[in-house]
């Protein structure tokens, strides 16, 4: 399964819990309760954190640390994409973008599956985007194309053979939606 | 200087709120039309150029016309009310109103008439590449002027707020302290510099200056720091576009497009633009919650001293998060990318503690009788939780490869934060302020209907867009060759948008049922002030 779909399931599970919690909170806070003594009055005297606040802060800090470790480590399925940047490319493909057109070295660009491929994209005029899409519309990867003097570079390993489309992923004027090249890349099975 | 009495402040606030609601209606109508156009409906009604110009105007009208003007209206009334002081400058208060109104209308009419469409991102050199894209040079001039006027209005408002909070009144003592006094007081208080100094000097039992102000006012001036910096950057871009256009109208004076480095520009732009998210969307919201919830429940805010520190921490975090917008820019140094990712998690702490303080205040006030403002605050917490979590997910160097610039970013993160998070907070403020400003309360049943339609509509729209985003649907673009697998999601997003529209109409009916439209118009167009 594509990593974005895994992330989507995890995300929706968490927000279902959040929404459920707020609904329960709304119901519970209307019922009963003893209108307890205002804890902030005591706090004024000691100028410190309440016990509940401390616990909550520790919980948030724990999430922060775990979250960052997860996000920066190779455990997360998508993290491998960042690590691929360190790989030595077996093939380099240079694409120029000019006047709303992708100028490809060949069509389709033939690349082998399972090996690091470097894409270098340069723009002669505007800021564009460079995205590679599966035939069912799912994004495989993308990057911004900052115009010259900058060179935009990404290394990718295609895992599945087949045809892929190229589309500009950044708005660059009303002609932008036509920057679409179907079957621009053909990944040869490894 | 002539004093601005409470009645005049009320009228000024009502004017701001009425205009902001008109802009919300306009932004909403644009949003709805764009939703239909994305579905490739109404293609004869407006062409692609019109669509992108609408997409350019939409965030300016929605953010500056609605959110900023509503905030200004509320703060022009609330800050003097809480501090029991007058607004520092009456002239500046009116100037900010007119600058915002004229500036927003200039941006809107320019894009509408000329179809100038650089989008709110204004990525260099797109706004100035008129020879390649085919825009009229005059449209760059008027758009640049409009943006400059809006941000000029924002700066005048914040200068007036800072002076109102930190300065003694000019008309009471006749003195006019130097602006440096205000800046020094602001920086000292906003960053707790006096407390740091006291710690270094080992002064015992020193209480920071920020503790002299109610927590709502602390949130106001700290949020104003972010939004002032934002105004300098975005206003600066407006000025840059104006100068560029003028230079191209004078023979031999044309500034070349290459005079600006596109990557450095993008960094500065996002540094400034993201400060809106923190200043206006998060800190002002936190301030409004801190005011409304304890006031209605008649209790102190839970953990008030910690909350002040949290607001300061968020100010620091907000200065270093802009890089999460540039994770797909591969020429950007990797260290900056990691910094953007790490600081974004900082917002989990600040917003998490803010929500906790509000919820704990409610919890200890059980049994709570939920009036409209409290219900809106509770629902806005849902908006921030749902939108904030999506933000943390996309602000990751690896996952940004497939989330960047998709409908996920603008749907689940952007629109849910703005519509369910920020807008519900602003509505909460309007429901709470309405009796104070008009002497009449709005109908609770209609308010509940407004809340349900708006919240469910906002969530349906945002989540549907997000689901299309994970499947690869991009933002900021039409699909003239067909939507393919994204079509059902865009249909549900349109249903959500329609629910938002009906919710807004219910809100208007509630207002017009409570206050006669003729009375409202009399206030807005009153020649008395």
pLDDT at position B171: 46
What long-range pairs does B508-512 form, CB within 8 A, spacing at least 24? B508/B21, B509/B446, B510/B442, B510/B443, B510/B446, B510/B447, B510/B450, B511/B442
Mutate to test the interface with A, among B305, B340, B371 (most CBs of A within 10 A): B305
User: A188 CA to chain B: closest CA distance, Å?
Assistant: 23
pLDDT of residue B396: 86
Helix axes B215-249, B262-276, angle to 10 degrees: 150
Q: Quick: pLDDT tens for B434-444.
A: 998 888 999 99
Which candidate from B331, B362, B368 shows the least CB-CB separation from A150?
B331
pLDDT at B523: 75
Beta carbons of B304 and A40 less than 8 angstroms apart: yes
Evaluate if residue B3 carries a pLDDT over 80.
no
- Tens digits of per-residue pLDDT, A17-61? 999 999 999 999 998 766 555 555 554 544 556 777 777 778 888
Show residues of chain B in contact with A79, CB under 8 Å. 398
B334-363 and A3-30 are packed helices; what angle lies between their axes, rounded to 10 degrees? 20
Supply the pLDDT for residue B465.
98
Asked if pLDDT for residue B174 goes beyond 60, the answer is no
Asked if residues B156 and B92 have their Cβ atoms less than 8 Å apart, the reply is: yes
Higher pLDDT, A148 or B278: A148
> What's the confidence (pLDDT) of residue A36?
57
Q: How far is B475 from chain A (nearest CA, A)?
A: 8
Nearest to A7 among B49, B306, B393 (CB): B393
**Angle CA(B152)–CA(B417)–CA(B294) in degrees, nearest 5?**
90
At residue B433's C-alpha, the angle toward residues B429 and B439, to 5°, is: 160
Q: Give the whole-angstrom CA distance, residue B79 versus residue B216.
A: 8
Distance from CA of B161 to the nearest CA of A (A): 28
Residues of A in contact with B403 (CB under 8 A): 4
Residue numbers in A near B370 (CB within 8 A): 26, 30
Please give, rounded to a whole number of angstroms, the shortest distance from the CA of B493 to a CA of chain A: 17
Closest CA to B414 of B482, B350, B461, B355: B461
Choose the mutation target among A3, A15, A20 for the interface with B, i.e. most B CBs under 10 Å. A15
Three-class SS of residue B259? Answer: helix
Q: Would you state the structure tokens that stand for residue A126, as one six-digit string? A: 């505007």
Query: Quick one: DSSP state of residue A127?
Result: -
Which two tokens mark B257? Answer: 């497009």
A43 interface with B at CB cutoff 8 Å: yes
Residues of A in contact with B460 (CB under 8 A): none
Query: CA B132 to CA A101: how far, in whole Å?
Result: 13
What's the gap in Å between the CA of B199 and the closest CA on chain A?
A: 16
pLDDT at B172 over 70: no
User: Which among A67, A140, A144 has the least Cβ separation from residue B328?
Assistant: A144
Q: What confidence score (pLDDT) does residue A42 get?
A: 52
What confidence tens digit (pLDDT) does each residue in B439-473 have? 899 999 999 999 999 999 999 999 999 999 999 99
Evaluate if residue B139 carries a pLDDT over 50.
yes
Largest alpha-carbon pair distance within chain A? 75
pLDDT of residue A30: 93
In this complex, is the C-beta atom of A188 within 8 Å of any C-beta atom belonging to chain B? no
- Cα–Cα distance measured from residue A172 to residue A136, given in angstroms and rounded to the nearest whole number: 24
**Residue A189 C-alpha, separation from nearest chain B C-alpha, in angstroms:** 23
Q: Across residues B287-316, what is the average pLDDT?
A: 87
Distance CA B143, CA B241 (A): 8
Interface touch B329/A143, C-beta < 8 Å = yes
What secondary structure letter does DSSP report for B64? I
B117 → chain A, closest CA residue: A173
Contacts of B479 in chain A (CB under 8 A): 177
Q: What span, in angstroms and rounded, lies between the C-alpha atoms of A141 and A165? A: 11
| Range B214-224 average pLDDT | 89
The predicted pLDDT at position B173 comes to 52
Nearest Cα to Cα of residue A164 among A182, A138, A142: A182
| Contact (Cβ atoms closer than 8 angstroms) between residue B321 and residue B347 | yes
> Three-class SS of residue A154?
strand
Q: Look at residue B431 and tell me whether its pLDDT is greater than 90.
A: yes
Does residue A186 carry a pLDDT above 60?
yes
Structure tokens, B438: 């008009």
- Does B300 contact A41 at a Cβ distance shorter than 8 Å? yes
Name the pLDDT band for A190 (thresholds 50, 70, 90): low
> What pLDDT is recorded for position B12?
92
Q: What residues of A are in contact with residue B357 (Cβ under 8 Å)?
A: 53
Instruction: Give A-chain residues touching B349 at CB under 8 angstroms.
Output: 57, 60-61, 64
Q: CB distance A3–B262 less than 8 Å?
A: no
Note which residues in 105-164 of chain A have CB less than 8 A from chain B: 125-127, 129, 131, 133-134, 136-144, 146-147, 150-154
Interface residue of B126, B464, B469, B473 to substitute, partner A, most A CBs within 10 Å: B126
* Least trusted range by pLDDT, from A103-112, B342-351, B374-383, B497-506: B342-351
Query: How confident is the prediction for chain B on average, in pLDDT?
Result: 91
Mutation choice for A interface testing from B54, B360, B398, B478 by most A CBs within 10 A? B398
Cβ pair B341:A28 closer than 8 A: no
A98 touches chain B (CB under 8 A): no
- Residues of chain B neighbouring A51 (CB-CB closer than 8 A): none
Tell me which chain A residues have a C-beta less than 8 angstroms from the C-beta of B369.
30
- Which residues in chain B are closer than 8 Å to A174, comparing Cβ atoms? 48-49, 51-52, 117, 133
Report chain A residues whose CB lies below 8 A from the CB of B210. Answer: none
CA distance B176 to B163: 11
Query: pLDDT of A91-143, one tens digit each?
Result: 999 999 999 999 999 999 999 999 999 999 999 999 999 999 999 999 999 99
Strands A91-98 and A101-103: antiparallel
Whole-number pLDDT of residue A37: 57
Kindly identify which residue of chain B lies nearest to residue A52, measuring between CA atoms: B360
Q: With an 8 Å Cβ cutoff, are B328 and A176 in contact?
A: no
Tokens of B365: 């006030």
Cβ partners under 8 Å of residue B313, min gap 6: B346, B349, B350
On whether the CB atoms of residues A92 and A118 are closer than 8 A, the answer is: yes
With 0-12 / 13-18 / 19 or more C-beta atoms within 10 angstroms meaning exposed / middle / buried, residue A147 is buried
Give residue-wise pLDDT tens across range A78-95: 677 776 777 789 999 999
Quick check: A80 contacting B, CB < 8 Å?
A: yes
Residue A175: what pLDDT? 94
For chain B, what percent of residues have pLDDT higher than 70? 97
Give the pLDDT confidence of B225-238 residue by residue, as tens digits: 888 999 999 999 99
Please, are residues A91 and A115 in contact by the beta-carbon 8 Å criterion?
A: yes
pLDDT for B312 beyond 70: yes
Q: In angstroms, what separates the C-alpha of A78 from chain B's closest C-alpha?
A: 6
Residue A45's pLDDT is: 44
Q: What does the DSSP 8-state code read for residue B29?
A: H
Is residue A71 pLDDT above 90, yes or no?
no
Nearest to A40 among B304, B329, B385 (CB): B304
Q: Which two tokens stand for residue A83?
A: 């690590």
Show the DSSP H helices in B364-443 as ranges: 372-394, 400-403, 407-408, 423-438
| Mean pLDDT lowest among A14-23, A85-94, B206-215, B327-336 | B206-215
Answer whether A52 sits within 8 Å of B378, measured CB to CB.
no
The structure tokens 């109104």 sit at B101
Chain B neighbors of A129, CB-CB under 8 A: 328, 405
> CA torsion B408→B410→B414→B415, rounded to 10°?
-100
* Cβ contact, residue pair A127, B125, below 8 Å: yes
Cβ distance of B352 and A60 shorter than 8 Å = yes
Look at residue B313 in the predicted model and tell me its pLDDT. 81
Round the CA-based radius of gyration of chain A to a whole number and report it. 25
What is the mean predicted confidence (pLDDT) over B376-384? 96
Distances (CA, A) of A47 to B57, B274, B307: 48, 33, 12
Whether residue B337 is predicted with pLDDT greater than 90 in this model: the reply is no
> Residues B225, B227, B233, B236: is their CA dihedral positive or negative?
negative
Q: Are B286 and B312 in contact (CB under 8 A)?
A: no
Looking at residues B311-338, what average pLDDT do you find? 89
Give the pLDDT confidence score for residue B306 in this predicted structure: 78
For residues A187 and A160, the answer to whether their CB atoms sit within 8 Å is yes
B305/A43 touch (CB, cutoff 8 Å), yes or no: yes
What is this structure's pTM? 0.93
Pick B485's closest partner by Cβ from A76, A81, A136. Answer: A136
pLDDT of residue A73: 72
Contact B348 A60 (CB under 8 A): yes
Mean pLDDT of B30-54: 93
The answer to whether B485 contacts A137, with C-beta atoms less than 8 Å apart, is yes
Per-residue pLDDT band at B177 (split at 50, 70, 90): low
Tell me if the bond preceding B307 is cis, omega within 30° of 0.
no
């Amino acid at each position: 399964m594509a990593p974005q779909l895994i992330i989507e399931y995890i995300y929706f599970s968490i927000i279902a819990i959040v929404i459920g919690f707020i609904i329960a909170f709304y119901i519970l806070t209307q019922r009963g309760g003893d209108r307890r003594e205002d804890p902030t009055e005591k706090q004024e005297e000691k100028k410190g954190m309440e016990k509940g606040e401390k616990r909550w802060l520790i919980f948030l800090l724990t999430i922060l640390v775990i979250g960052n470790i997860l996000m920066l480590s190779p455990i997360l399925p998508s993290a491998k994409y960042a690590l691929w940047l360190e790989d030595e490319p077996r093939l380099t493909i240079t694409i120029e973008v000019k006047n709303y057109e992708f100028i490809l070295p060949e069509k389709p660009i033939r690349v082998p599956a399972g090996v690091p491929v470097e894409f270098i994209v340069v723009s002669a005029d505007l800021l564009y985007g460079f995205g590679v899409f599966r035939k069912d519309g799912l994004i495989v990867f993308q990057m911004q194309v900052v115009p010259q003097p900058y060179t935009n570079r990404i290394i990718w390993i295609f895992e599945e053979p087949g045809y892929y489309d190229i589309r500009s992923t950044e708005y660059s004027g009303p002609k932008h939606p036509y920057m679409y090249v179907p079957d621009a890349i053909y990944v040869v099975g490894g | 200087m002539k004093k601005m009495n409470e009645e005049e402040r009320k009228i000024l606030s009502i004017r701001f709120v009425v205009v902001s609601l008109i802009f919300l209606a306009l932004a909403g109508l644009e949003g709805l039309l764009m939703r239909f156009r994305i579905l490739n409906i109404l293609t004869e009604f407006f062409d692609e150029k019109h669509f992108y110009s609408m997409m350019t105007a939409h965030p300016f009208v929605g953010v500056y016309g609605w959110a900023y003007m509503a905030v200004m209206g509320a703060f022009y009334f609330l800050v003097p009310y809480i501090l029991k002081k007058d607004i520092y400058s009456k002239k500046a208060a009116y100037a900010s109103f007119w600058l915002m109104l004229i500036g927003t209308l200039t941006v809107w009419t320019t894009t509408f008439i000329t179809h100038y469409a650089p989008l709110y991102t204004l990525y260099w050199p797109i706004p100035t590449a008129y020879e390649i894209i085919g825009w009229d040079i005059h449209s760059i001039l008027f758009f640049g002027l409009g943006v400059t006027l809006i941000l000029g209005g924002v700066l005048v408002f914040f200068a007036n707020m800072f002076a109102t909070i930190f300065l003694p009144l000019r008309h009471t003592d006749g003195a006019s302290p130097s602006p440096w006094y205000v800046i020094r007081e602001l920086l000292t208080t906003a960053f707790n510099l006096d407390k740091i100094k006291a710690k270094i000097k080992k002064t015992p039992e020193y209480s920071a200056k920020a503790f002299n102000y109610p927590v709502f006012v602390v949130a106001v001036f700290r949020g104003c720091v972010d939004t002032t910096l934002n105004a300098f950057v975005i206003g600066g871009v407006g000025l840059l576009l104006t100068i560029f256009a003028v230079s191209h109208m004078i023979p031999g004076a044309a500034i070349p497009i290459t005079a600006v480095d596109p990557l450095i520009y993008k960094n500065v732009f996002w540094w400034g633009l993201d400060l809106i998210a923190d200043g206006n969307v998060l800190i002002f919201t936190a301030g409004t919650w801190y005011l409304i919830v304890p006031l209605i429940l008649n209790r102190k805010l839970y953990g008030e001293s910690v909350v002040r520190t949290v607001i300061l921490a968020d100010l620091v975090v907000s200065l270093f998060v802009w890089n999460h917008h540039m994770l797909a820019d591969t020429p950007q140094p990797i260290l900056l990318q990691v910094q953007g990712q790490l600081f974004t998690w900082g917002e989990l702490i600040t917003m998490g503690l803010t929500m906790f303080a509000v919820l704990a205040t409610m919890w200890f006030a059980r049994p709570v009788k939920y009036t409209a403002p409290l219900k809106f605050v509770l629902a806005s917490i849902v908006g921030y939780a749902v939108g904030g979590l999506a933000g943390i997910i996309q602000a990751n160097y690896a996952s940004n490869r497939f989330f960047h610039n998709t409908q996920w970013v603008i749907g689940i993160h952007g629109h849910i934060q703005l519509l369910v998070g920020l807008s519900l907070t602003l509505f909460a403020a309007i429901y709470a302020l309405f009796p104070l400003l008009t002497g009449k309360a709005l109908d609770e049943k209609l308010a509940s209907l407004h809340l349900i339609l708006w919240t469910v509509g906002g969530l349906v729209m945002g989540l549907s867009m997000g689901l299309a985003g994970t499947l690869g649907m991009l933002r900021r673009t039409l699909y003239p060759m067909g939507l393919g697998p994204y079509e059902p999601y865009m249909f549900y997003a349109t249903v959500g948008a329609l629910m938002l529209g009906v919710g807004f109409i219910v809100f208007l009916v509630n207002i017009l049922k409570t206050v006669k439209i003729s009375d409202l118009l009399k206030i807005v167009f009153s020649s008395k002030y």
